[in-house]
Structure 1
Amino acid sequence: MRIAIAGGHGQVARHLSRALSARGDVPVALVRQLAHVEDVQADGAEPVVLDLERANARDVAEAVSGADAVVFAAGAGPGSGAERKDTVDRAAAGLLADGAAQAGVRRYVLISSMGVDGEPPAGTDGVFATYLRAKAASEADLRERDLDWTVVRPGRLTDDEPTGTVRLDTSVPRGAVPRADVAAVLAAVLHRPDTAGLVLELTSGVVPVEAAVAAVVEPAD
């Protein structure tokens, strides 16, 4: 499979490129800066320089043309203000969907976040509240599109070593999860087209990744 990854220089995205490359897939990393090209090449990805905050749908369609799937792994990142939470976490996710549709790429996997189901609790940091609302809006937009979408909502991301075991379901208790385990779940989801139409929450757990992904689509015995 050829899989275009928006936000290709982010930590989850780089883990995903490595996981896909190890499977024999061809990851295509969409990166904002030329300075990131060598890094993503080292992960086994083909680099494409594309700034989703400056691009249009035609630019995105050209970048993802020929892909079997796209993954939205971009984010404004720590230290960014509320405005960029909206322009990246909401608007850029929609732009990727526009471009994918133009290019005829139906499969779309969105990395979202736990905690987007309702309004942020009172006292939530203003920028983080904007981030949660942006993620909620990107999910709502994607669900209205004629695409084969899957939404993965990780818990708190860590840089811990991956365990290869997770908790994955339509709803799970709050918790943390290593970025590399998130990437492993994304890679498995991409290889399971029957996960289309699902919104899945993800934290660390005790079930091996492939089994956890299979369990959300295969009826229990």
Structure 2
Amino acid sequence: MKIAIAGGHGQIALIATRLLAAEGNEVWGIIRDASQSSDIEEAGGQALVLDLEQSSVEALAGELSSRGIDAVAFAAGAGPGSTAERKLTVDRDGAVLLASAAEAAGVSRYVMVSAMAADSFDPASDDVFQVYLRAKSEADAALRASSLDYTIVRPGGLTDDHATGTVQVAVDGSTGRGTIPRADVAWIVARLLTSGEGIGTQFEVISGNVPIADALRSL
């Protein structure tokens, strides 16, 4: 498969790139800083240099079409210390842009890395974290309303621990709060992109006792 990952230099994206490339897939990491290209290449992927905050749907769709992309994932984020405004322009608008471009390019598969409890945001608050949750919630809603074969992954608190390979998933929010290594989220994203599992599903995930493959097959 040919796969494009927005936020290609993030930890989840780089780990997913390694996993996908090792299985023989062609992976393009979408980044705005060309100096990050070498890290993507080291992981086995290739860099697609494009600023999601500045791009048009037509420009991004053209990039996806020209590379014959089969599936996309959104793992981008404005990052710690960023403003509320950039939570909206990156975490929400960037995700929506990728969905629109995927539709325009005829790419049907879209995997979203969202956030646990995104829909619990306070609409009256201008607190940065509340705006972040709003951005994720609105991006997820836009993806659900699209024509794409989507899966929305809402992980708990992200850690830099080693992958465990086991998780707890729920489509009804019943996992409760918890944490999960980024490496396990990357494994989930990689499997969803290539297996076709979880289409039309939104689920929360934390560390647990069920092997990832079994958990995804149960969705």
For the criterion TM > 0.5, the same-fold answer is yes
Q: Secondary structure at the match of 1:98?
A: helix
Partner of 1:83: 85
Secondary structure in 2 matching 1:153: strand
Identify the match of residue 200 of structure 2 among 197, 201, 212. Answer: 197
Compute the RMSD of aligned alpha carbons.
Answer: 1.6
Paired residue type of 1:174: R
Runs of 4+ aligned structure 1 residues displaced above 6 Å come to: none
Instruction: State the 1:51 CA deviation.
Output: 0.5
Distance of 1:101 and 1:182 partners within structure 2: 25
Aligned amino acid, residue 118 of structure 1:
S
Q: Which amino acid aligns with 1:208?
A: P
CA contact (8 A) 2:197 2:216 kept: no
**Alpha-carbon distance in 2 for matches of 1:208, 1:194:** 15
Q: Is the 8 A contact 2:57 2:101 kept in 1?
A: yes
The yes-or-no answer on 1:51 pairing with 2:51 is yes
Match of 2:75 among 73, 93, 107: 73
Distance (Å, rounded) in 1 between the aligned partners of 2:123 and 2:167: 27
Would you say 1:168 and 2:163 are equivalent positions? no
Partner of 1:60: 60
Pairing 1:107-126 to 2, within 5 Å after superposition: 107-120=109-122, 126=127
Q: Determine the C-alpha separation between the residues in 2 that align with 1:125 and 1:202.
A: 27
Q: Distance in 2 between matches of 1:15 and 1:44?
A: 10
Unaligned runs of 5+ in 1: 217-221
Match of 1:149 in 2: 150
Q: CA deviation at 1:121?
A: 10
What do the CA deviations read for 1:8-51 (whole angstroms, capped 9, x no partner)? 00111111101111222111101111100001000111111011
Give the paired residue count. 215
1:167-205 C-alpha deviation (Å, 9 max, x unpaired): 122131110000010000111112232411100111111
Report the TM-score when normalising by structure 1: 0.93
For the Cα contact (< 8 Å) 1:169–1:202, is it kept in 2? yes
CA contact under 8 A between 2:121 and 2:131: conserved in structure 1? no
- TM-score norm. by structure 2 comes to 0.94
**Could you tell me how far apart the structure 2 residues matched to 1:183 and 1:165 are?**
13
Query: 3-state SS of the aligned residue for 1:149?
Result: strand
Percent identical residues: 49
- Runs of at least 5 residues in structure 2 that lack an aligned partner in the other structure: none
